[in-house]
Structure 1
Amino acid sequence: MDQDGPAPEADLAVYTPNDDIPEEADDMSLSGNNTNSSLQAWNPPPRLAARFCRQSSASTRRKSSAASSRRNSISSTHSHQSNRSYHGGRSSQSNHVAQHLRRASIIESRKARLAERAAHAEQVRLRAALAKKTTTSRASNSEERAQAAQQAREKHLAQVAAACAEEVKRAKKVAEDMKERKAAEEKRYRLEVEERLAEAEKRRAEYKRNNMRRPRTGSGAAAAAGEVRKPVAQVALRLDDDTAAKRIQNAWRIKRRKQMFEAFFGLGLTIDRVRETNFEEMGVLLNEERVLSTTSRLLQLLHLQHEEDKTTMQTGTRNFLSAYLILGRPAEVLSSKDGDQEKDLINKAKDLMIGFESLLMKALASKIYAIDPTLQENLAMYHSAYLTAFTDWKARDASALIEGMVASFVSLDAIWQSVKDDTDGEVASDYKEGIRENQVILLSKIRKLAGPDRASMLIKKAIRESRKTKAARRKPVGDLRPRVAIETSMDEGSATGSNETVSATAAAASHIQHPTAAAEGLQASALTRLFSTVPPNRILVHELAIDKEYRIDTEPNSELRDAVNREVCDGMRKGFEQGEGNQWTVAMAENVRGKLLRLLKQGNSMYTLIAETLDPEFIQRQCAQGVFSYERFFGFMASILPKLCAPFRDEAVKALCDDLQEFGGLESMIEKLFKLLHVIDLLSLDYSNFLLMGAAPKLIEESAGYEQRMFAKDLQDGTITLHKTKCWWRNASVNILTEADRRDPLHRPTTQKIYAWGLVDLAIAAAPLQEKGIPETLRLDTTRLFHIRADAVRITTIGAILLTAKNLLKRDVRSQWKAEATRMWDALKFGGYSSSEDDNSSSMARKILSIIESSRPLPTATKDTLTSTIGRLLQQAEAGRLTDPVMKVLFQRLKTHILNQLSASSSGERVRAASTATEGLASSGLAEFVGQVGEIVDALTRVSEVDRKAHGVWYEQIASEAEGLGQREEEGGQSGEAS
């Protein structure tokens, strides 16, 4: 095969289909070359041709399957066939036609691709338009959210700025202090450097002065002769006395510091050891004399203490050592680790210990045990801050303890005031001994915490306020004796001191008020008693037995009597309008005459004057003759009323007299008559109380027997039964026995315990008091039990609100918020749990919240939470269903506390319960209600004593029946088990 000749046709046939389709420029150049040159046809040998043809056909078959190949196009096929035909010597088409077809095919394919791209671009444009439209609709919502987010961010930033204002202020202050401290430190360093330079200059001058000159050498001849120069003897450096003393003192100070550091480290005081050691053992260790003396000397070395008396130095040392306990045992030392003051104290103690240990470590690292001035200054600053925080915390904790102990002291004094007038003397002597012992213990503790002078002042003030409050509740301020009764007080006192029965005395007091009741008939007597200021005899005796200073109150029937007087005055007005004025005038004068004569003793000059001036027959003759004048009548009343009233009523009577002297028309006359009747009722009340003061000792002495006889009479007549009392006793027995079996099955409660349990269940309950649940023996105390229930719910509600506020503000629950508690008590007592405006507790909740917010700032989140909590608690208290967990716990603690005090059977137990009452209430979260709880306990105690004295026989009978029934049921159960 010729190497220089053109490529054979077989090679073209084989390799041309596998090559890529050339571009237009390549095809044109190739066609040009084929046109200008002549190629010879050459056929290979048969074996080679068969071989190459076989490969070409196989390759062609493989490539023909690709429908998308460019070589399968018409132009490529024609070009390939034309080339083969040209080289083979056959007839072929023009190269121009092939190229044209190929170009047309390429153009078509490119147009198709461009059309596809245009369609795709259109789809993309449509999707973009749709997306833009959707984005535009969402833009407004996004802008609103962005604005809301911006506003929230600005609000949050404002809150953060407000919250950080104090921190920035404190940081500025710290920076200023640091700047001043650095300036002082630089000044001190400058002075130290100057002192050191001066000392170095002084040593240099001293050295020059003491150093001896070197002797001159010999002459040159002597040197040449070989004379040997003698060595100069070294003279020892001699120190003056001041320098030697300074060196000795410096060495002594180094040794002293070393001994102090080693002695303190020998104690082994570390925070880890405090954590690992028992609290009591660590307390004993810190109180050892060796620990106190070693620590005190080290604190003096560090200038944290000064030479003072031994007691002051030990106090300062104990305050310093308390930092170890605060960091190692915060739960035992601090009442609450979550309070702001406690957290600040822990942080100050941590700074103190870090500074103290850093100074000791650096001093030990020095060979001369030198104390770094910077660390010493920082330690002094930390120590001062810690002592300030520790003193504040201790003062607040001590104030809470002092208030609690003073309240316990006052409670013991109240018990003594209630039993000191005992006629037998045995009860008073028993209580006196126990009260004196407990008061001495409390007084010593109060003096230790508050000091002798302040302790005496606090105790005297608390006792004076307690007695003043109790006296104010018993009677109003002023002289209650009517002026006309002062002259006959001796006669009345002798009459009441006679040996009459209590029923006769009570009946006499009642008949003094109503001498004409028997003549008016049964119906008139009942109507007169309904509007009388004096209660029935049994109620009068019962109230006197419970409260020796009991006085008749006009409030229960005042509105009813005023309403009746108003009806009478309206009827009188109509009678005057109808021409019946004379009859009404005579009736009115007779009514006023009868009320005034009841205030006087027959035969008295004032009695005779009133009886003659207001005689019904004389008034009737004046009216018939037309000479009766209401102006003279009111003038006469204005002249005698100041002589009849008590000094306590002077202002009210003076105002009435001034009003009576100004006479007007019919309406004015009727209104003055109404006021006159009202004041006469008040004078009758004062006179009744005066008579009651004289009859009270005898009534109290015979009260138990009188109540017992009246109760037995009611049982005998069938007016009452013991059904409710038996049910009440049975329920109390079952409850206390169940509790006793749970605690100690061998312990059986006494009758006193069962009675106390039943009385507490009856008095301390959330639901309103029902008539069917009151025993017949306690029927006269229904009003008192109702008020006690209301007070218990009110105490629990206010206590839950204050406890929630303390927890939200992270305050100590033992701290007493007395001012807030008092204001809430008055608001709920006089305003109720709901508002009259919207008939729900929202306005009252806002009022309660304003009381808390007025004295303590509340964050917004805390304010919202507390508002919802107060509203929920008020709703539960109003409905009588305490479902809130805090209220349930507080109510149960209050009930248990009152039961423990009421169950005390002996004087010693009662005194111990009273002395620990304040501490118990403080731990229960009711520290602000020591006085209110004490009043409830005192009231229930007096009710219990009077009730058991009057109805003890029936209680013993019911208890025996209940015990026999229980034994029979137990025997029946045992026989059933045996069978």
Structure 2
Amino acid sequence: MSNQREEVGDESPSDLPCLEKLDSPTGSPPTASLSSLMELENCVSNLSLAHEIVVNRDFFFKPGDPLVNSLEGRVTEIVHRAFWDSLQEQLSNDPPNYKHAVILLQEVKNMLLSLLLPGHVRLRSQLDEVLDMELIQQQVAHGALDIHRLAAFITDTMASLCAPVRDPEVKALRDLEDPVELLKGIFRVLGLMKTDMVNFTIQSLRPHLLQQAVQYERTKFQQILDKHPASLDKTTAWLQAAASEEAIGHQAGSPASDRRVLLSATAVLNRAYMRLLHWDPQDQKYPETVLMDRARLDTLSQQLQMLVLEASVLLLTSTQFRSVIFHLQGFVGKLRQSITALLESSHTREADLKRALLGIGDMVLKQMTDAVSTQGGGALPQESQDVLRRQISDLWKQNNAVRTLIGERVQDFLLAMLQGGPAKRSPELHFPLGLVSAELAELGTAFGRIVHFNRTVFGPFYAPILRKLLLPTGEAEAGEDLR
């Protein structure tokens, strides 16, 4: 799979130079040689790529053009321009010099062959016949090479192989007269077709990858662990913190006579996963076993905080005015849309959240006033308006009582979904969470999918850590299955 990744967006001619691996520099630590670090990096890269393909259903490759303003982009542009300028000069000679053109034709043939399926027997035979490199060399020697005839065959072949989305680009190639622009265009479109083929292969293989992914990820992570035994230190600390929290909660909710009951490893692990939804972005001690899903979990965490704030605003509004307008058709939906729009992008900085909540207070009061007016009601009491505006503004505080209450209810909901598993229905939600139940259920499902896969893959790594934390004597906990 790593080879496929390297091919995406790679439109460089095959005779361009490549960097060779350097030996470990003098004076570098013997335990961290450059070659071993590169090997470890490749292992992590392959593991991350395989995980992304399996977990992210929307994953696909994009043509890997370097950023225009980056050093890589500028170097690539200079090298490519020099190559195509050289080809232009060679073909403009009298007689033309076809040295580089023949190399490109060989590369085009290889790219076309890589796009063929086993059933393309006749097309493979035609490629070997028309793009016979020995014959082409003979034609060059006798001044009889017809690049346009070969290009026409190539574009016809591309048209028969490409996805429908590439039809206009292949058709445009037929209108190019300049041989250099034609070859350049062929390479560009072939690069896109190779990307299409890789993405099609990924979609086709995903069901099979799912079957093999668990063992693959375990094996790759074990290879990393073999090279760096400390690769579970942060994971151990993460589980230790969860076990401590679970012990405190268990003691608080149990009678004194029952406080020596062993903690459940599954309960500790579930609590550990829940902690990831409230992880401090500045805390770099993220568990190694969940690192590949951190971006996904951070996104879910942000969505969760927005839903908590939204539900808190709805609860405060309903409590303050105790109005029947919440039952008016379309009112809550319009109110929620406005709240969501104002909260968007306000999670990154405290100042942004304060500003957003001030705007939300004014917006809620305006919509409430308009709704009451349409129902023939009188003006809202000014004192109640001031109280609601202040209550909404205070939601920026992490320890705000209403925000804390809603957060705990959401936490209980997600934990219930986690404990129930993917086959169980979502637990019932009461006001105001019932108003955001669809979004919470979707978030819980996405969270549960990540947790289930992670627990299945890394269960064998978690088990000995949890045994040591929960059973100091080393005894096995009967009936516990971390997967």
- Under TM normalisation by the shorter chain, which class is it? 0.5 to 0.7
User: Is this contact kept in 1: 2:242–2:269, CA < 8 A?
Assistant: yes
512 and 691 in structure 1: CA distance in 2 versus 1, 3 angstrom threshold? farther
**Deviation per CA, 1:869-928, whole angstroms, max 9, x where unpaired?**
87886xx5xxxx7354443332332222212332348x9xx73xx35x2x32x33x2223
Residue in 2 aligned with 1:777?
Answer: 289
Distance between the aligned counterparts of 2:251 and 2:186, measured in 1? 68
634 and 898 in structure 1: CA distance in 2 versus 1, 3 angstrom threshold? farther
User: Is this contact kept in 1: 2:155–2:186, CA < 8 A?
Assistant: no
User: Is this contact kept in 1: 2:311–2:406, CA < 8 A?
Assistant: yes
Please tell me whether residue 758 in structure 1 is matched to residue 272 in structure 2.
yes
The structural deviation recorded for 1:788 is 1.7
Q: Secondary structure at the match of 1:773?
A: coil
Which one of the candidate residues 962, 972, 975 is aligned to 2:469?
962
Distance between the aligned counterparts of 1:587 and 1:828, measured in 2? 58
Residues 158-307 of structure 1: pairs in structure 2 closer than 5 A: none
Residue in 1 aligned with 2:121?
Answer: 604
523 and 797 in structure 1: CA distance in 2 versus 1, 3 angstrom threshold? farther
User: Is this contact kept in 2: 1:545–1:703, CA < 8 A?
Assistant: yes
Which one of the candidate residues 717, 726, 740 is aligned to 2:250?
740
The structural deviation recorded for 1:644 is 1.7
Point out the structure with max Rg over C-alpha.
1
User: Is this contact kept in 2: 1:760–1:899, CA < 8 A?
Assistant: yes
Residue in 1 aligned with 2:305?
Answer: 793
User: Is this contact kept in 2: 1:834–1:840, CA < 8 A?
Assistant: yes
Distance between the aligned counterparts of 1:932 and 1:954, measured in 2? 33
User: Is this contact kept in 2: 1:593–1:610, CA < 8 A?
Assistant: yes
The structural deviation recorded for 1:730 is 0.6
User: Is this contact kept in 2: 1:705–1:950, CA < 8 A?
Assistant: yes
Residue in 1 aligned with 2:233?
Answer: 723
Residue in 2 aligned with 1:685?
Answer: 198
Distance between the aligned counterparts of 1:638 and 1:566, measured in 2? 30
Please tell me whether residue 657 in structure 1 is matched to residue 173 in structure 2.
no
Distance between the aligned counterparts of 1:753 and 1:792, measured in 2? 21
**Deviation per CA, 1:258-308, whole angstroms, max 9, x where unpaired?**
xxxxxxxxxxxxxxxxxxxxxxxxxxxxxxxxxxxxxxxxxxxxxxxxxxx
User: Is this contact kept in 2: 1:814–1:927, CA < 8 A?
Assistant: no
Aligned AA (2:409):
R
Distance between the aligned counterparts of 1:734 and 1:536, measured in 2? 34
**Deviation per CA, 1:206-253, whole angstroms, max 9, x where unpaired?**
xxxxxxxxxxxxxxxxxxxxxxxxxxxxxxxxxxxxxxxxxxxxxxxx
Distance between the aligned counterparts of 1:622 and 1:869, measured in 2? 83
User: Is this contact kept in 1: 2:4–2:198, CA < 8 A?
Assistant: no
Q: Secondary structure at the match of 2:370?
A: coil
Residues 162-561 of structure 1: pairs in structure 2 closer than 5 A: 538-539=47-48, 542=51, 550=57, 552-554=59-61, 558=64, 560=66
The structural deviation recorded for 1:683 is 1.7
Residue in 2 aligned with 1:895?
Answer: 411
User: Is this contact kept in 2: 1:586–1:620, CA < 8 A?
Assistant: no
Distance between the aligned counterparts of 1:568 and 1:690, measured in 2? 31
Distance between the aligned counterparts of 2:450 and 2:362, measured in 1? 37
Distance between the aligned counterparts of 1:639 and 1:855, measured in 2? 65
The structural deviation recorded for 1:731 is 0.2
558 and 579 in structure 1: CA distance in 2 versus 1, 3 angstrom threshold? closer
537 and 573 in structure 1: CA distance in 2 versus 1, 3 angstrom threshold? closer
The structural deviation recorded for 1:596 is 3.3
User: Is this contact kept in 2: 1:849–1:866, CA < 8 A?
Assistant: no
Residue in 1 aligned with 2:332?
Answer: 817
578 and 598 in structure 1: CA distance in 2 versus 1, 3 angstrom threshold? closer
The structural deviation recorded for 1:769 is 7.0
Q: Secondary structure at the match of 2:296?
A: helix
579 and 536 in structure 1: CA distance in 2 versus 1, 3 angstrom threshold? closer
Distance between the aligned counterparts of 1:675 and 1:824, measured in 2? 46
**Deviation per CA, 1:338-393, whole angstroms, max 9, x where unpaired?**
xxxxxxxxxxxxxxxxxxxxxxxxxxxxxxxxxxxxxxxxxxxxxxxxxxxxxxxx
Please tell me whether residue 641 in structure 1 is matched to residue 158 in structure 2.
yes
600 and 752 in structure 1: CA distance in 2 versus 1, 3 angstrom threshold? same
**Deviation per CA, 1:580-607, whole angstroms, max 9, x where unpaired?**
6557756655555444332214673333
**Deviation per CA, 1:64-113, whole angstroms, max 9, x where unpaired?**
xxxxxxxxxxxxxxxxxxxxxxxxxxxxxxxxxxxxxxxxxxxxxxxxxx
TM-score (norm 1): 0.35
Q: Secondary structure at the match of 1:903?
A: helix
Residues 614-625 of structure 1: pairs in structure 2 closer than 5 A: 618=136
Q: Which has the higher helix share?
A: 1
Structure 1 residue ranges without an equivalent (≥5): 1-505, 527-534, 968-979
User: Is this contact kept in 2: 1:834–1:844, CA < 8 A?
Assistant: no
Q: Secondary structure at the match of 1:663?
A: coil
User: Is this contact kept in 2: 1:724–1:775, CA < 8 A?
Assistant: yes
Structure 2 residue ranges without an equivalent (≥5): 23-34, 36-43, 91-98, 372-378, 475-483
Q: Secondary structure at the match of 2:115?
A: coil
The structural deviation recorded for 1:716 is 2.3
Aligned AA (2:189):
L
Aligned AA (1:779):
L
Aligned AA (1:757):
R
Distance between the aligned counterparts of 1:868 and 1:641, measured in 2? 65
Distance between the aligned counterparts of 1:892 and 1:705, measured in 2? 36
The structural deviation recorded for 1:709 is 3.0
Which one of the candidate residues 452, 457, 463 is aligned to 1:945?
452
Please tell me whether residue 933 in structure 1 is matched to residue 449 in structure 2.
no
TM-score (norm 2): 0.65
Aligned AA (1:641):
M
Q: Secondary structure at the match of 1:736?
A: helix
The structural deviation recorded for 1:660 is 2.9
Q: Secondary structure at the match of 1:895?
A: helix
**Deviation per CA, 1:177-209, whole angstroms, max 9, x where unpaired?**
xxxxxxxxxxxxxxxxxxxxxxxxxxxxxxxxx
The structural deviation recorded for 1:722 is 1.8
Distance between the aligned counterparts of 2:290 and 2:302, measured in 1? 18
541 and 570 in structure 1: CA distance in 2 versus 1, 3 angstrom threshold? closer
Distance between the aligned counterparts of 1:661 and 1:805, measured in 2? 65
The structural deviation recorded for 1:732 is 0.2
Residue in 1 aligned with 2:93?
Answer: none
832 and 668 in structure 1: CA distance in 2 versus 1, 3 angstrom threshold? farther
Which one of the candidate residues 572, 577, 585 is aligned to 2:80?
572
The structural deviation recorded for 1:636 is 4.8
Residue in 2 aligned with 1:42?
Answer: none
714 and 661 in structure 1: CA distance in 2 versus 1, 3 angstrom threshold? same
User: Is this contact kept in 1: 2:308–2:406, CA < 8 A?
Assistant: yes
The structural deviation recorded for 1:729 is 0.8
User: Is this contact kept in 2: 1:541–1:700, CA < 8 A?
Assistant: no
